[in-house]
Amino acid sequence: MALILNNSAISPGIFKMTVAFTGVVKPGQFFMLRAWDKDPLLSRPISVHNYETGQLSFLYQVVGKGTEILSQLQTDDEVTIQGPYGNGFPEITGDLCMVGGGIGTAPLYYLARHYREQNPTGKCRIYLGFRDSAYGVDAFEALADEMILDVGGIITNKLVVLASETVVTCGPEIMMETVAKTVPADNTVYVSLEAHMACGIGACLGCSCETRSGNKKVCKDGPVFVREEVFNV
């Protein structure tokens, strides 16, 4: 169980929950969250938005019964968290370009902050796309050398990748596939996948996905993959 320090809406249907937690957490990893007994049956996998000084944050969208229950929790309530799970983003030492769409922007903030701490002279460019309204933009702006924002359009139409950059993307699958297929082959591209998960540790096989090297589990083998593994490029 983790004590909730804050849980509030930052945009319509978008909540940020911060809980007390101490451990080792890598950008790109996720936790399984639960605040109910039997209904719904499964815990909810939610990526890490930020972690520092004993505080772990999740940015999530209310899309069903589980996340609706999570959104109703208050400060000093408790929530069951299991994790961290999954392979996070690798250490990036060169320049970084991030492409996020909607709630897929959530795990990119921790990566951007970690990257800036480890690479104070590196260049970080960030593309953020939202369907209706933007959220969390100010936090990204504080870390970016350049930020491109799009609301209501298609963020990949604005994407220009430089030869020196490693690209990281998270968001709707169609957006990530477009990034994977349009970024030049010489650039390394990492994609962070989403999937329905029951256990988070690879035991149930519920999040199996097709890759070039056979079926893999998003929760255990991912959620971060190189683009060539999961998209035909």
Do 81 and 99 belong to one domain?
no
Do 119 and 176 belong to one domain?
yes
pLDDT at 77: 98
Do 151 and 217 belong to one domain?
yes
Whether pLDDT at 201 is above 90: no
Do 68 and 154 belong to one domain?
no
Q: pTM value?
A: 0.94
Do 24 and 102 belong to one domain?
no
Nearest to 75 by CA among 124, 117, 119, 19: 19
Whether residue 90 lies inside any domain: the answer is no
pLDDT at 48: 98
Do 204 and 121 belong to one domain?
yes
For 50-119, the DSSP string reads EEETTEEEEEEE--SHHHHHHHT--TT-EEEEEEEESB-PPP--SEEEEEEEGGGGHHHHHHHHHHHHH-
Do 113 and 8 belong to one domain?
no
Do 202 and 153 belong to one domain?
yes
Q: Any residues with CB less than 8 A from the CB of 125 and at least 6 apart, and which?
A: 95, 96, 97, 98, 144, 145, 146, 147, 148, 162, 165
Give mean pLDDT, residues 181-190.
97
**Cα gap 159→182, rounded to integer Å:** 9
Residue at which a domain ends, from 59, 85, 111:
85
Whether pLDDT at 41 is above 90: no
* Residue 30 domain boundaries: 2-85
**Cα gap 221→216, rounded to integer Å:** 6
Distances (CA, A) of 200 to 28, 171, 195, 219: 14, 19, 10, 5
Do 14 and 64 belong to one domain?
yes
Whether pLDDT at 196 is above 80: no
Whether residue 152 lies inside any domain: the answer is yes
Residue at which a domain ends, from 85, 106, 132:
85
What is the total count of domains within the chain?
2
Do 110 and 210 belong to one domain?
yes
Q: How confident is the model at residue 198 (pLDDT cuts 50, 70, 90)?
A: low
The mean predicted confidence, pLDDT, of the chain is 93
pLDDT at 208: 76
User: 74: which 2 tokens?
Assistant: 């208050």
Whether residue 38 lies inside any domain: the answer is yes
